[in-house]
Amino acid sequence: MSLHLKNVMLSDEGKYTCNIFLENWYDEVVVDLNVAAKGDDTSIFLDGHVGQGIGLTCKSQGWFPEPEVVWLDSKGQTRKEKVITQRTKTSSGIFDVVTSMNLEPGSDKEVSCRIVNNLLNTVCESRVLISGE
């Protein structure tokens, strides 16, 4: 037997029971449906000068469950700057992400914004390299 689902919504998540009857034979299978969504590709925007540094904002839409957000340097290490992240749950239950940080003078000029869906084990990442002062 096979099960093919179309147009699945977040509200469809849960346990489903399939009962199979064939002459004198019976079987029952429980399917645990987990719903997840990988969002749109991330985009990094330069917000201009903030004090001595440069403001950066990263955006992506359409995630479920609530994703993890990480800002990285050129070596793939988590950046030390203060990060402000807003995850907004839409009326359909998915999450849109807006995250910002200020790149201070003298810090690593390569910046990556990574958004992770841990349930799907998927990642969207954007990278910028700020040149000059």
Q: What is the pLDDT of residue 130?
A: 87
- CA gap 100, 88 in Å, rounded: 14
pLDDT value, residue 95: 97
Query: Is there a domain that residue 49 lies in?
Result: yes
Domain presence at residue 83: yes
User: What is the predicted pLDDT for the residue at 3?
Assistant: 78
Beta strands in the chain (DSSP E): 14-22, 25-33, 43-50, 53-63, 68-72, 83-89, 95-103, 110-117, 122-129
Q: What is the pLDDT of residues 94-105, one digit of tens each?
A: 999 999 999 988
- How many separate domains does the chain show? 1
Domain-located, residue 6: no
Residues of the chain with pLDDT below 70 are: 132-133
Q: Considering the domain boundaries, does residue 35 fall inside one?
A: no
Decide if 86 is inside a domain.
yes
Structural domain of residue 107, as residue ranges?
Answer: 43-129
pLDDT for res 132:
66
Instruction: Note whether residue 120 is domain-resident.
Output: yes
